[in-house]
Structure 1
């Protein structure tokens, strides 16, 4: 069995549920895992990946996976100092064995667990909107019901319906009201075709036909988003704790929607763009206005994680934040995700690794 040896600390990355005949990681996932293992090794931090069924509580050992050279190797390791929960889906995380494991880790005195669970959109909205500073960051949102939907449409004319427990633009519907008629479109339609409905009753019937449940969806005021090359976009920022345990902005990228699309996610036809380029194209070259945009971004990165961490009483040491920028340059928090996907931008990905390992070393030294 491998011991900690001369390492500063050991980090176990919980990666999901074990398959009966598990293949070793491949493609982008393997690259990300190799990057983390290699970078940590150079900082004298041992990182290994493991699955829910790899933990032996009686012997206090874990069957961990590491890459040595170009070969993936499984070995037994003693319990790590830190567990980073990277279970890749809500479905897997909600399984009985995963919930049992996360509970046991959280109760283990010698072990620090962070990003212990997924967040849902409703709890994020409730936590932010109940805070005097957080309330300014979020568009009006409520649990979906037909009466709530009608009220929002009367006030704002454009509304999104969003699944509470979903991400990457899945299941989102946009509705517009115009007099006594309504238009709606589903984010996942192959083509961005709007459907016209001539009464609110008919709209309710159409929504029922889509299988939207009252307990599963939110209704949210639609923001009049700024545009780049005639397309809507949003910002994807990542914040995380550094080597002093303080929140810091890792980086920000822009996700531009496909033509006529209502969401910006890459699988729905979106593409990446640079923050500086998009802000200049949307709002001009004014130094004062750009500074005002940057101040908003930094303020969100400072306030949001602290409000959520305290309000939800959980360790949220890495977060991604989807931010909408309206046509007037005001920034709005659309979503916060405790299991952020890897950035494609190399500089952001490198800073992520640096801050992650800095923070793990900080936690390990704090425990001693």
Structure 2
């Protein structure tokens, strides 16, 4: 089983009645599904099913009833409804499979979208949170919040206390950690995971959303915003479960 397959993660999580409420609407890409999703949502994302670090992700926003704005890497293009699928398929790499996903209106910090990385490690059959961070996009219109694409890691508690739509920081922090534990437990029951980096978003109304789980999370930048005790917990857990440190891995 491909641990990188995003659709596998979503299909597993959608079977849980509580967690499924926090999973963005996600389908395999085809032209009919594309138009159906655009009828439902003002923004969608088209993602390679098994890539990470924000690579290959395309954003489509409705400009009006008949025109859309395609954003990919650093390019933006307005196209009409008739040519949307053709324009997208010129960007998409074949023969890779793609998924289409509901866009989430993420909460912002200084008007830039952010999500959160929660790293959990399974030691003695118990999932433990060892590292956390908030990943803030590098511009107001950034397509993704991946550090490899220019986003920056911050101390999670700092962002939760200061973000633009902030709520009670301790309450939302507890909800995030509880949600991450639920995700790790469900995925870990079906997949051979010992470590996972779970990306979670908060929308502007305070709702939590699962973005994806990374079976081999890059933690170099995340470690820089964690305290010495958290880093020690992470490294001790790595030794216990036999995982090598991912310090040499490219940033995610």
Match of 1:111 in 2: none
Match of 1:307 in 2: 186
For 1:168-317, list aligned pairs within 5 A: 168-177=53-62, 178-186=64-72, 188-189=73-74, 193-198=75-80, 200-212=81-93, 216-242=97-123, 244-259=124-139, 260-282=141-163, 289-310=168-189, 312=190, 314-317=191-194
Say if 1:134 and 1:307, in contact at 8 Å, map to a contact too: no
**What is the alpha-carbon distance in structure 1 between the residues aligned to residue 193 and residue 45 of structure 2?**
27
Match of 1:162 in 2: 47
**What is the alpha-carbon distance in structure 2 between the residues aligned to residue 285 and residue 167 of structure 1?**
29
- Are residues 142 and 256 of structure 1, via their aligned partners in 2, closer, same or farther at CA, if it must alter by over 3 Å? same
**What is the alpha-carbon distance in structure 1 between the residues aligned to residue 37 and residue 2 of structure 2?**
31
Match of 1:331 in 2: 208
* Bigger RCO (CA 8 Å, 6+ sep): 2
Say if 2:201 and 2:210, in contact at 8 Å, map to a contact too: yes
Unaligned runs of 5+ in 2: 243-252
**What is the alpha-carbon distance in structure 2 between the residues aligned to residue 228 and residue 335 of structure 1?**
21
Shift in Å, 1:358: 4.1
Say if 1:143 and 1:214, in contact at 8 Å, map to a contact too: no
- Are residues 117 and 352 of structure 1, via their aligned partners in 2, closer, same or farther at CA, if it must alter by over 3 Å? farther
2:224 matched to 1:343? no
Shift in Å, 1:359: 4.7
Shift in Å, 1:215: 5.8
Say if 1:164 and 1:218, in contact at 8 Å, map to a contact too: yes
Shift in Å, 1:283: 5.4
Say if 2:58 and 2:70, in contact at 8 Å, map to a contact too: yes
Say if 1:144 and 1:215, in contact at 8 Å, map to a contact too: no
Q: Render the CA deviation track for 1:192-230: whole Å, top value 9, x for unaligned.
A: x421112x2211110121135586100000000111122
Shift in Å, 1:136: 2.1
For 1:75-90, list aligned pairs within 5 A: none
SS across alignment from 1:194: strand
**What is the alpha-carbon distance in structure 2 between the residues aligned to residue 291 and residue 136 of structure 1?**
22
TM value normalised by structure 1: 0.60
**What is the alpha-carbon distance in structure 2 between the residues aligned to residue 137 and residue 257 of structure 1?**
22
Q: Render the CA deviation track for 1:97-122: whole Å, top value 9, x for unaligned.
A: xxxxxxxxxxxxxxxxxxx9633101
Unaligned runs of 5+ in 1: 1-115, 361-368
Poorly superposed stretches of 4+, deviation over 6 Å: none
Shift in Å, 1:295: 2.5
SS across alignment from 1:209: helix
**What is the alpha-carbon distance in structure 2 between the residues aligned to residue 165 and residue 117 of structure 1?**
8
- Are residues 140 and 214 of structure 1, via their aligned partners in 2, closer, same or farther at CA, if it must alter by over 3 Å? farther
2:20 matched to 1:143? no
**What is the alpha-carbon distance in structure 1 between the residues aligned to residue 184 and residue 6 of structure 2?**
14
- Are residues 132 and 215 of structure 1, via their aligned partners in 2, closer, same or farther at CA, if it must alter by over 3 Å? farther
SS across alignment from 2:4: coil
- Are residues 285 and 163 of structure 1, via their aligned partners in 2, closer, same or farther at CA, if it must alter by over 3 Å? closer
Larger radius of gyration: 1
- Are residues 285 and 220 of structure 1, via their aligned partners in 2, closer, same or farther at CA, if it must alter by over 3 Å? closer
SS across alignment from 2:20: helix
- Are residues 211 and 294 of structure 1, via their aligned partners in 2, closer, same or farther at CA, if it must alter by over 3 Å? closer
